[in-house]
Amino acid sequence: MLPEIIQSALNEQIKVEAESSQIYLAMASWAEIKGFEGIATFMFKQSDEERAHMLKLLKYVNQRGGEAKISQLDEPKLDYTSFKTLFRQLYEHEVRVSECINILVDIALKEKDYATHNFLQWYVSEQIEEEATAKVILDKIDLIGDDKGGLYMFDNDMKNFSSTAHNIVQ
């Protein structure tokens, strides 16, 4: 049986992961409307991946005798002034998710819930990958600058980058 403090913290993380999925989905929709097919493809896949992270947490809570809660989600508040701004927000969001995971790990250790601590190690590793992916993308965007040809190539590369990033995590 999960201690109440662990169940509550995991349920909060379920919401964080669901909101992450929604953020990527909102970004995907924007990119698709703007004609960024590669960026949209990447964002749609990331949205699916975040939903899978949420489901993994949900199943863990239920399997440990807890009760996973499905919370109301806030509408993503994003600045769509440029694709660079969008990816900067993505990176900042992933850093925030990493902070949330670290808090969860800390709670699990304080409660001496080593099963949950062990379970969360997958998320710790996952967040290292998520932050690194977002940082690599930001670095590429900085290299492009205002070059329209570079943006076209970047967008095209994002179609392949999404499958590469997904395979890194698997």
Sign of torsion, CA 96 97 100 102? negative
Paired tokens of 154? 């970047």
- Give the other-Cβ count within 10 Å of 152's Cβ: 13
pLDDT band at 70 (very low <50, low <70, confident <90, very high): very high
Question: The tokens of 135 are what?
Answer: 């940082």
DSSP type of residue 81: S
Task: Give the whole-angstrom CA distance, residue 50 versus residue 163.
Answer: 15
Q: How far apart are CA 47 and CA 76, in angstroms?
A: 13
Residue 8 pLDDT more than 90? yes
Q: How many residues does the chain have?
A: 170
**Domain CATH for 83:** 1.20.1260.10
Report yes or no: 16 and 133 within 8 Å, Cβ to Cβ. no
Query: Which range among 5-14, 37-46, 145-154 shows the weakest confidence by mean pLDDT?
Result: 145-154
pLDDT digits (tens, 9 = 90+) for 127-150: 999 999 999 999 999 999 888 888
**CA angle (145 as vertex; 33, 164 as ends), nearest 5:** 65
pLDDT at 170 over 50: no
Q: What is the pLDDT of residues 108-125, one digit of tens each?
A: 999 999 999 999 999 999
Longest pairwise C-alpha distance within the chain: 56
Query: Looking at the predicted structure, is the pLDDT value of residue 28 above 70?
Result: yes
- Residue numbers of the domain that contains 124: 4-169
Q: Total structural domains in the chain?
A: 1
